[in-house]
Amino acid sequence: MSVLVLAEHDNKNLKPATLNAVTAAAQLGEVTILVAGKDCRAVADDAAKVAGVAKVLLAQSDAYAHPLAENVAALLVELAGDYSHVLAPATTSGKNIMPRVAALLDVAQISDILVVEGADTFVRPIYAGNALATVKSSDAIKVITVRGTAFEAAAPEGGSGTVEEISVDKDAGLSSFVGADLTKSERPELTSARIIISGGRGMQNGENFKILEDVADKLGAAIGASRAAVDAGYVSNDYQVGQTGKVVAPDLYIAVGISGAIQHLAGMKDSKVIVAINKDAEAPIFQIADYGVVADLFEAVPALSAELDKAQS
C-alpha cells in the first residue's frame, strides 16, 4: 500500500507535526510526502531525508504560496488516486484542508487518529477524549488527520527519498491570502508548549495572572486558563484550555486555582504530569493530579517562584 502525507511547512522549514504523521503513515505502507508551496525546494530536500520516506512530490506555484484549502485540496484530489491513504497532521492547516479533500473524493474523513489498528481501522478520540472510538472505513481511499501527540516523531535524518517535481497548478480562484499575524511572544504557544501553567476562577482577576507569568518565565511555560476564568473576563478566549478551548498534552501541566470542571479536564487530562494548587482540598482537580498542594495560591505561587530560583541556582 502507498500512503501520501501532506507536509506542513512555511516554505522554509518542514514543521515538526509532519514527522509524527510520517510515523503513522509508515505503519500503513510506503510513504510519499507532498510538499506544496512556493520557492520551497529546501523543504522538499529536508522531507526526503526523513527516515522512512520513499519519495517526495514537490509542487511549486503561486497558488500554493500559502496553504489555502481550496487550492491544496484540489491538488491532493488530483494525486489521491495513486494512494490507499492520504494523511495530514491534525493541525489547524490539516483540519482545514483534509475534509475538503475527502468530500471531493466522496469518502469519509477520519479525524485526529491516535492508533493505527490496521489498514482500515483506527482509534480516534470523541467527546474531547473522554471516550475512544474504534472505527473501520469502507472507503477505497482513507483520508486521515493524525494527532501528533499520539505518534513519535520520525527521525528527521537518515532517509534517502527521491524528490520529484510535479507541474500541477490548481488555483481555484475562490480565496486569497491577505496576511498573517503570528504570536511573537517569548512564551511558547499553548498547543505545542512542553510546560503549561493555567489559572482558574481562584485567580480572582486578570491582574493576578502576573504571578503566573513570573513562574511561566522561569519554566519556559505557556499560560492557559479555565473557562471559568475566561467567562469571568480575567483573560481572553485564546487562553482557554478545555473541551471548547484548546486540547493540550504537555509534559507538565500546573493548574492553579482551578477546581477541575469536566470541560476543563477534557482539555488537559492527557498531560504527562499534572500539578494542582488549590486551597479547597475537595476540588475534583486533585483526583487526577499527580502532585497536589492544598494552599492559598497567592502564597503558594510566589513561593513556587522562589523555590524555582533556588533550584536553578
Q: Which of residues 124-163 bind other proteins (CB under 8 A)?
A: 125-139
Cα 124 to the center of its chain, rounded Å: 14
209 with 231: CB under 8 angstroms? no
Q: Which of residues 42-71 bind other proteins (CB under 8 A)?
A: 66, 68-70
Please give the backbone phi and psi of residue 123, each rounded to the nearest 5 degrees, phi first.
-105, 135
Which residue of 13, 92, 162, 205 would you call a contact of other proteins, by CB under 8 A?
A: 92
Establish if 32 lies at the interface with other proteins (CB under 8 A): no
Question: For the CA atoms of the chain, what is the radius of gyration?
Answer: 22
Establish if 308 lies at the interface with other proteins (CB under 8 A): yes
Q: Measure Cα distances from 238 to 66, 77, 190, 285, 292 in Å.
A: 23, 33, 9, 22, 26
Is the Cβ of residue 2 or residue 121 nearer to other proteins in the bound state?
Answer: 121
Min dist. Cβ of residue 158 to other proteins (A): 27
Is the Cβ of residue 5 or residue 264 nearer to other proteins in the bound state?
Answer: 264
Q: Which of residues 69-88 bind other proteins (CB under 8 A)?
A: 69-70, 73
Is the Cβ of residue 44 or residue 144 nearer to other proteins in the bound state?
Answer: 144
Q: Which of residues 185-224 bind other proteins (CB under 8 A)?
A: 189, 191-192, 195, 219
Is the Cβ of residue 160 or residue 178 nearer to other proteins in the bound state?
Answer: 178
Min dist. Cβ of residue 123 to other proteins (A): 9
Q: What residue type is assigned to position 6 of the chain?
A: L
Min dist. Cβ of residue 134 to other proteins (A): 4
Kindly state the cell numbers that stand for 129.
Answer: 477524549
Which residues, 6 or more positions from 166, have their beta carbon under 8 angstroms from its beta carbon? 57, 58, 59, 79
**What residue has cell string 517526495?**
56
Q: Which of 17, 139, 28 is nearest to 67 (CA)?
A: 17
Is the Cβ of residue 53 or residue 74 nearer to other proteins in the bound state?
Answer: 74
249 with 222: CB under 8 angstroms? no
Tell me how many residues contact other proteins (CB under 8 A). Answer: 94
Min dist. Cβ of residue 256 to other proteins (A): 11
Which residue of 55, 95, 187, 279 would you call a contact of other proteins, by CB under 8 A?
A: 95
Please list, residue by residue across 43-76, b when 16 or more beta carbons sit within 10 angstroms of its beta carbon and e when fewer do: bbebbbbbbbbbbbbbbbbebbbbbbbbbbbbbb
Is the Cβ of residue 10 or residue 169 nearer to other proteins in the bound state?
Answer: 10
Q: Which of residues 222-281 bind other proteins (CB under 8 A)?
A: 236-238, 240, 243-245, 251-252, 261-263, 269, 272-275, 277, 281
Min dist. Cβ of residue 82 to other proteins (A): 20
Min dist. Cβ of residue 162 to other proteins (A): 30
**What residue has cell string 501541566?**
253
Q: Which of residues 278-297 bind other proteins (CB under 8 A)?
A: 281, 286-295
Residue 222 CA to residue 199 CA, distance in Å, equals 11
**Can you state the angle between helices 92-105 and 69-80, rounded to 10 degrees?**
50
Mask for 2-31, x = binds other proteins (CB under 8 A): ------------------------------
Q: Which of residues 99-128 bind other proteins (CB under 8 A)?
A: 99-104, 106-112, 121, 125-128
Which residues, 6 or more positions from 141, have their beta carbon under 8 angstroms from its beta carbon? 80, 81, 83, 84, 85, 86, 105, 107
Binding segment (CB under 8 A) for other proteins, from list 18-26, 37-45, 51-59, 97-105: 97-105
